[in-house]
Chains A and B, each alone.
Chain A
């Protein structure tokens, strides 16, 4: 184990104290928020059902119509009445429309407007991942680890400051704790989930030895950006660069179970704390990115890189005055809205 040089004596005492007096967490039923999510979006499924129902009903209606018609013929034939057989449905429909032209026009316009609006709304939802929570091979709880235990985000997602990827934790990171934490009564199935980590790491929890038979864990990615978007965690998270709190984009993760994409509304509730800016567009859309780039001020003093940049700006006072009119220089004003910042 690495030396914990940064801990003070009091903190060490507190840890030991906690370890002595730890109370087992009461067994709870499976939290509903942790139920393994669906792979697809619910909306799409519902739409499919509606279409299917419409088709079924149409078939029923047409069949009923046909039966009715047959019956009418039979009745007419019996009563010796002459029926207009040669008038087609098309002609009948045409006549009906002409008769009720006011109604049909209004209906058509209404249908077109609402339908079009609905289509547009739906269109904008395509590829929007807000509130997306895919199922996972291990029913991991952020609530337990990041919430109750207070483990820092960057302990597990440790490449966030160094790389464009925050990184899904590698199994060896899990094993830092789960070499010793081999069972849990946090909730039903917790021990089985830990066993899955051990299986992946090739760890025998009985003998506390590694067997060497490893098998990687296949996670389902929650935060998906299109292939032509290059987002760098390092640029945003690193204290010398963006220095943005994880919550700005990921919400209050310590309250989540499985990893999920947050929603704008949830994050806006956190606004004001830790420099979080309220936004309006759906999460992980380009509009949402640009909105923040338009609001967020760049701290030109925190790094020599920005100091140099600021120095150069001073030689163009007109430009500097223009961009600092609102007392802040935003990401956008330094080029944060330019295509090639993210698309290349």
Chain B
């Protein structure tokens, strides 16, 4: 058995185009053909004389232009803020929360412009965990389509008019006893909660029992007792007297991706409608049933970091050496599933059955729900591990289905996990929506019962199952509708008033993600537009504050006061409030004050609840899932996120149907013989994929099909978050499809409307059993159309050098020898007439480059075990290094410019029937035959490998550059001087890692990129990092090891008169990696972390055998699997070498 690695089906099947392209670095032939073959070329009427005239004029103009010295203006501050030094970055601790992601972050600002975001590893709940969405959020701030001021019925108005109108209308509604509703995403801000409650009571509404259990015990009187002192302190405005008393005012929280069933299940099981705190860092066995806890599920930013702690195969501080064992059951391959030790594809309707099977196998109640033998076998294996780690295990489920969640509660209870890995007392406040209340409100709005609706932080017209009907109701004149959206999006554009809120980087807020955890969000930039903090708007409309200007401190003072009254008395660390406040702002959060745990009493309702679980016998089931880049769809117009290849499919700029390859063969009538031919399964530049019509109820979406290895048979997945702005709403220029040609114009439909990217999968969701269901029975039919996908999976192939990857299992690490799982390469050489085997690294054509011990030698170590492929580093690199966004058509042509790419390899391991058969063909019960040959793409395992410039000390690119534009520094860097480069691209051709990128265009002003490239937009240009050159057309570029940070780090050390230490110089990717998979430092410093990492047993250098001596090391990927995975192809002297050496 030889383990094979493949990036896509075309590589696995060795499709002709793949074979043809695999030996090419660049595939530019097409554009020339297209140009020459174009009909339009005959229309050009440029004669020889004209040509000479243009030439002459051009030369003269260029000469004259270069003689002129341009006058460059420079405008210093009038009053320089004391803490700003031009040219030196400021860092601010803040918090990101948008209803989906919660992260404690650090924001880098240059001259008052936020330009880069990373996780805060020192303070806060999430310990540095972020997602690509958080990293890219800084670009949302500069979106040109943000509203410049308040809007009423489509035309801009002044804040004073808006305030007067809204106040009057609200009063009218309240006076006549009409319904006033506030619809928001989950509010985890204690101060915002106070503001909303105060607003409700100012209209005469009754405030529901405050959910925040911590506020209640301190001030038990009434809402007024909390709000009145704060409000009158803040503004000096007297609280309005005697509000009307019969008004019906309610605040309803709505999550587009809801976990309402989990709260209900916990209420049933434990009497508390809470989301508990999960501690993945203590779980030695993890079973996840469709919970993508690394990228999307609940507090994923924290879980991701915690989980990574359990995945360290090295010896721990206490001498133990262990790794958690992770089982995953899901339909669409998710980031979490791809990282699991054992992954079982299931249909969504089987989730309950899987949970029941696990419950049965761990010795719990047998609910008698049937499940297939194969799945049962997986469940049994999982249960075995769970039983072994009682109290140290964790079972989680993603389904918004009470039945499934109740069974999972029973499992965790049976495993004695409550009070250990699951904490019901320190609940998580995320995702507080109650779907039944949402459904009720939606019906009220649709039936016209609501007098006034205020929408905050949510986009229900886009995300609701019946969003269209809701949108129509919003347009109703009789209802006052107000939105706080930053954009005139699907919902806001239908509202009577849009009162744009500040961006999160422009405003103050506080958050309470979990019991005892408080964090602060602080502004990093003065508001760019005439927007106003939503909380201030509510205070103004509630008569508690006067309208402020851009510098308004109303809400800032409000938060400060509420922290003084509520937070300060509860801590003992600081003596004065100022000290407490200043440190909380400085750190971005205050020290956690968790609640002591109490005993848990479990009520078993599995039998009753499981009876209402969803089941299905439809031929197709569709799953609406979240991607790690696009998420719920708030930032679909963010070009960095669109350009980020999806973690699993590696498709950019698109939405598609994921389908098991075997199902594709059936659906598109591809018989076995034709399997290797062109059939729309291989995604290449000139190979479009098939499209299908997916029908769920009355909704039909036409989408391209991506054959996804590992997808459960009979299921399809459609990502949420696409299909934004169907009615041409202005949410950002990158939200729409661009033509696949040089014009860069929008692709318009027959009516001249811009086509949204992908289709809206929220249409497939539905309210069922009081919760929103994210999967459905579907009909899938071939649409007989083709569609081009832009997919990076087979770009820049490594030409069959599979030794680039190494993986093994925990057992080998603990008891095996390095030579078993990470042998060094040996070469067969002839010296003095006889052959011998020598270490590959000892043979070299070149003299040693003098980097060892001379000054610094910058080195990087990438731990393939810790890396989970989330893509945070790619976004971090994009924003740090001004990497241009190139758009779908260029990606399709393999001209992506990612300096850092995340290679994703599929491989087939585990339970390989064939391996067993080959081992002993006559063994008892070994009935394997070719008929049931395992299909590798049915359930492959996945390895992620970040790939960037290796800064080889014997760099092949340097020797071939005709103009010495790329040279080696004595610090081990492979330098790239853009202004020297003449663009022969020979270096890219000669790079064994395929990490050099060519600037085909002037991305900052060529028309093709006008809608996608942020440097073409005068607002979005502000995100550019002033420390890095914006490259021009015709030059090569590549990872520089963030040389600007190296220079800065060295300079800081020099100025402080000390040696460079770990942490002084960190590349953007290493700095942002939530799991510490990337370590960077001075390799010549024998104390440095990177030095110790690279001298460990797991360290290896990719393609070590070709002798380029890189400054980048990888750590062997370790999985906690029983059978040692067959080692990746390792070159030994005995094997034939076809490659050039």
Cβ A339 vs Cβ B975 within 8 A = yes
Cβ A344 vs Cβ B1043 within 8 A = yes
Select which of B78, B85, B971, B977 is within 8 A of A159 by beta carbon.
B85
Cβ A165 vs Cβ B1058 within 8 A = no
Cβ A232 vs Cβ B1054 within 8 A = no
The docked-state distance in angstroms from the alpha carbon of A134 to that of B55 is: 33
Cβ A334 vs Cβ B855 within 8 A = yes
B40 within 8 A of A: no
Closest-CB distance, B1111 to chain A (whole angstroms): 14
A211 within 8 A of B: no
Most chain B beta carbons < 10 A, residue from A217, A220, A230, A305:
A305
Cβ B76 vs Cβ A240 within 8 A = no
- Residues of B with C-beta under 8 A to A219: 73-76
The docked-state distance in angstroms from the alpha carbon of A144 to that of B977 is: 42
A319 within 8 A of B: yes
A94 within 8 A of B: no
With A232-B1051, A316-B854 known as contacts, the answer to whether A338 contacts B969 (CB < 8 A) is yes
- Residues of A with C-beta under 8 A to B971: 335
A184 within 8 A of B: no
- How many A residues face the partner with a CB closer than 8 A? 67
Select which of A164, A171, A316 is within 8 A of B77 by beta carbon.
A171
With A312-B854, A339-B967, A339-B980 known as contacts, the answer to whether A228 contacts B1029 (CB < 8 A) is yes
A41 within 8 A of B: yes
Select which of A44, A159, A172, A214 is within 8 A of B87 by beta carbon.
A159
B1047 within 8 A of A: yes
Select which of A220, A232, A302 is within 8 A of B73 by beta carbon.
A220
The docked-state distance in angstroms from the alpha carbon of A312 to that of B970 is: 13
Select which of B75, B76, B969, B1055 is within 8 A of A238 by beta carbon.
B1055
B1084 within 8 A of A: yes
Select which of B76, B970, B973 is within 8 A of A167 by beta carbon.
B76
B1027 within 8 A of A: yes
The docked-state distance in angstroms from the alpha carbon of A159 to that of B88 is: 9
B447 within 8 A of A: no
The docked-state distance in angstroms from the alpha carbon of A304 to that of B87 is: 25
Cβ A312 vs Cβ B853 within 8 A = yes
B370 within 8 A of A: no
A287 within 8 A of B: no
Cβ B1051 vs Cβ A40 within 8 A = no
Cβ B72 vs Cβ A221 within 8 A = yes
The docked-state distance in angstroms from the alpha carbon of A219 to that of B76 is: 8
The docked-state distance in angstroms from the alpha carbon of A162 to that of B1051 is: 10
- Residues of A with C-beta under 8 A to B71: 39, 134, 220-221
* Interface SS, B side: loop
B1028 within 8 A of A: yes
- Residues of B with C-beta under 8 A to A305: 1050, 1053-1054, 1057-1060
Of the listed stretches B62-70, B737-745, B919-927, chain A binds B62-70
A289 within 8 A of B: no
A343 within 8 A of B: yes
Cβ A343 vs Cβ B1058 within 8 A = no
B978 within 8 A of A: yes
Cβ B967 vs Cβ A338 within 8 A = yes
- Residues of B with C-beta under 8 A to A230: 1027, 1044, 1047
With A163-B88, A220-B73, A308-B1059 known as contacts, the answer to whether A171 contacts B79 (CB < 8 A) is yes
A341 within 8 A of B: yes
Interface string of A312-327 (1 = CB under 8 A from B): 1101100100000000
A280 within 8 A of B: no
The docked-state distance in angstroms from the alpha carbon of A254 to that of B1122 is: 78
Closest-CB distance, B1042 to chain A (whole angstroms): 9
Which residue of chain B lies nearest to A173 when distances are taken between CB atoms in the complex? B80
The docked-state distance in angstroms from the alpha carbon of A201 to that of B1050 is: 38
- Residues of B with C-beta under 8 A to A216: 75-78
- Residues of A with C-beta under 8 A to B72: 220-221, 224
Q: How large is the interface on B (under 10, 10 to 19, 20 to 34, 35 or more residues)?
A: 35 or more
Which residue of chain A lies nearest to B971 when distances are taken between CB atoms in the complex? A335
B697 within 8 A of A: no
Interface string of B614-652 (1 = CB under 8 A from A): 000000000000000000000000000000000000000
Select which of A40, A215, A302, A313 is within 8 A of B78 by beta carbon.
A215
Cβ A235 vs Cβ B970 within 8 A = no
Total residue contacts A-B, CB cutoff 8 A: 177
The docked-state distance in angstroms from the alpha carbon of A241 to that of B1054 is: 6
Cβ A343 vs Cβ B979 within 8 A = yes
- Residues of B with C-beta under 8 A to A44: 67-69
- Residues of B with C-beta under 8 A to A224: 72
- Residues of A with C-beta under 8 A to B852: 316
Cβ B1057 vs Cβ A303 within 8 A = yes
- Residues of B with C-beta under 8 A to A40: 68-69
The docked-state distance in angstroms from the alpha carbon of A303 to that of B71 is: 39
The docked-state distance in angstroms from the alpha carbon of A78 to that of B443 is: 110
Select which of B85, B1044, B1051 is within 8 A of A344 by beta carbon.
B1044
Closest-CB distance, B1039 to chain A (whole angstroms): 11
Chain A stretch 114-137: residues in CB contact (< 8 A) with chain B: 126-127, 129, 132, 134
* Interface SS, A side: loop
B850 within 8 A of A: yes
Cβ B75 vs Cβ A218 within 8 A = yes
A340 within 8 A of B: yes
- Residues of B with C-beta under 8 A to A172: 77-80
The docked-state distance in angstroms from the alpha carbon of A35 to that of B376 is: 91
Interface string of A230-249 (1 = CB under 8 A from B): 10101100101100000000
Closest-CB distance, B729 to chain A (whole angstroms): 37
Cβ A171 vs Cβ B73 within 8 A = no
B1056 within 8 A of A: yes
Which residue of chain A lies nearest to B1050 when distances are taken between CB atoms in the complex? A305
Which residue of chain B lies nearest to A200 when distances are taken between CB atoms in the complex? B78
Cβ A227 vs Cβ B1029 within 8 A = yes
B976 within 8 A of A: yes
The docked-state distance in angstroms from the alpha carbon of A165 to that of B86 is: 7
Cβ A214 vs Cβ B79 within 8 A = yes
Cβ B850 vs Cβ A319 within 8 A = yes
Closest-CB distance, A224 to chain B (whole angstroms): 5
Which residue of chain A lies nearest to B1040 when distances are taken between CB atoms in the complex? A344
The docked-state distance in angstroms from the alpha carbon of A338 to that of B74 is: 30
The docked-state distance in angstroms from the alpha carbon of A221 to that of B980 is: 26
Which residue of chain B lies nearest to A44 when distances are taken between CB atoms in the complex? B67
Cβ A162 vs Cβ B88 within 8 A = yes
Select which of B76, B79, B977 is within 8 A of A168 by beta carbon.
B76
The docked-state distance in angstroms from the alpha carbon of A153 to that of B658 is: 65
Cβ A163 vs Cβ B86 within 8 A = yes
Cβ A170 vs Cβ B78 within 8 A = yes
Cβ A338 vs Cβ B1043 within 8 A = no
The docked-state distance in angstroms from the alpha carbon of A338 to that of B922 is: 67
A309 within 8 A of B: yes
- Residues of B with C-beta under 8 A to A173: 80
The docked-state distance in angstroms from the alpha carbon of A70 to that of B1084 is: 87
The docked-state distance in angstroms from the alpha carbon of A319 to that of B970 is: 12
The docked-state distance in angstroms from the alpha carbon of A48 to that of B67 is: 10
Closest-CB distance, A279 to chain B (whole angstroms): 22
Which residue of chain B lies nearest to A242 when distances are taken between CB atoms in the complex? B1054
Chain A stretch 274-313: residues in CB contact (< 8 A) with chain B: 302-309, 312-313
Cβ B75 vs Cβ A338 within 8 A = no
The docked-state distance in angstroms from the alpha carbon of A58 to that of B1019 is: 51
- Residues of B with C-beta under 8 A to A217: 75-76, 78
Cβ B853 vs Cβ A164 within 8 A = no
The docked-state distance in angstroms from the alpha carbon of A341 to that of B1051 is: 12
The docked-state distance in angstroms from the alpha carbon of A313 to that of B854 is: 5
Interface string of A16-46 (1 = CB under 8 A from B): 0000000000000000000000011101100
Chain A stretch 182-233: residues in CB contact (< 8 A) with chain B: 200-202, 214-221, 224, 226-228, 230, 232
- Residues of A with C-beta under 8 A to B976: 339-340
The docked-state distance in angstroms from the alpha carbon of A226 to that of B1027 is: 13
- Residues of A with C-beta under 8 A to B1055: 234, 238, 240-241
Q: A159-B85, A343-B979 are in contact. List 5 more A-B contacts (CB 8 A).
A: A217-B75, A220-B71, A232-B1051, A339-B977, A343-B978
Task: Report 5 cross-chain contacts, Cβ distance below 8 Å, ordered by A residue.
Answer: A230-B1044, A305-B1058, A312-B853, A340-B969, A344-B1043
